[in-house]
Amino acid sequence: MSGAFRTVWWEEGQVCLIDQRLLPNETRIVRCATVEEVACAIRTMQIRGAPAIGCAAAYGMALAAFSAAHDATGDSARIYACLMEAKALLDAQRPTAVNLSWATRRILERAQRLSDPSPDEVAQRVLEEAHAILAEDLAMCHAIGRHGVALIPPRGHVLTHCNAGGLATAGYGTALAPVRTAHEQGRPIHVYVDETRPFLQGARLTAWELIQERIPLTLITDNMAGYFMKRGDIDCVIVGADRIVANGDVANKIGTYSLAVLARAHRIPFYVAAPSSTIDCSLPNGDAIPIEERSSDEVTMLFGQRIAPEGVIAAHPAFDVTPADLVTAIITECGVIYPPFAGALQRAGMEHH
């Protein structure tokens, strides 16, 4: 397969995506005809993963542009207003992942650079920019794989968390990109996959991807990581990121910080793999990152079945922040960045912001 499946794409005037809530038991394509439907798909995690929701949001902006262009009263001013409304709607769905607002801002700026355009021209240029964002993400993921593969020790035992594979991107992955590249090169590789409660992205999605690729894996529950580290079974940890701020602090799926602490205690390298579009140098440190709070039902329920007593209070922060001093290196499409991170992150981030 080699990352050839598509996570999100444009087809016949609609945004198509794989419903990731149903994997691995069912592969269903969702077709979104309006920006509101794209926003719902992002909010309900039919599509998730920072780069993937950025791509979806870009196409959602295209839907808004075409809708306004086809409006009987549509003109370029009306389209710009509709794009700003669409951006506000989409950005609000998942506040932690910076790729979302980065993509919608890029689309809006592309439209605003046009000189006296017709409504149809605005819509067409917006769609072209969305296609470019998707293509660039795929290229960046392959570059992350090329840069990151050298960091995987010879035995190739990698622990990962959540899903930072093709399903979280345009189709190749961030944290899984070095793993895929190693496998393609014929190198030994074995992935320990954290199940990632409460949404089980590791058990449902990462395991599914690795099975498709025939990459050896062992699924573990989140609270087994320290056990396998102490036994010497883990050579390195590679995770993705939803936002990397100016000092190198990293926001990623809840549970990432715990893995970083465990990795430091066991002297295991802890790597973060992410495209430069994930870098947000407008925030000085991780304390400034907004942390999305999701429904407690996702903690107390599992596949429609209650697993906790009625009335119990459950917390559900969807992300945590790993301090920069626990990160061994950050792998981007520009290369591997080592501490101190600030200057190199600023340079990498400027290419996309």
pLDDT digits (tens, 9 = 90+) for 272-324: 999 999 999 999 999 999 999 999 999 999 989 999 999 999 999 999 999 99
Task: State which CATH number among 1.20.120.420, 3.30.450.150, 3.30.56.10, 1.10.540.10 fits the domain covering 8-141.
Answer: 1.20.120.420
Q: What is the dihedral of CA 54, 7, 168, 224, to 10 degrees?
A: 160
- In this prediction, residue 207 carries a pLDDT of 98
Query: Which strand (E) or helix (H) includes residue 253?
Result: strand 250-253
- In this prediction, residue 316 carries a pLDDT of 97
Active site residues: 242
Q: Are 78 and 136 in contact (CB under 8 A)?
A: no
CA distance 151 to 49: 23
* Overall pTM > 0.95: no
- In this prediction, residue 110 carries a pLDDT of 94
Q: 273: which residues sit within 8 A by CB, 6+ positions away?
A: 144, 148, 164, 174, 175, 177, 178, 238, 239, 240, 241, 330, 331, 332
Per-domain boundaries in the chain: 8-141, 143-350
Joined together, the tokens standing for residue 293 give 């709070």
List of the chain residues with pLDDT < 50: 1-3
pLDDT digits (tens, 9 = 90+) for 213-264: 999 999 999 999 999 999 999 999 999 999 999 999 999 999 999 999 999 9
Return the CATH fold of 143-350: Rossmann fold (3.40.50)
CA distance 83 to 126: 10
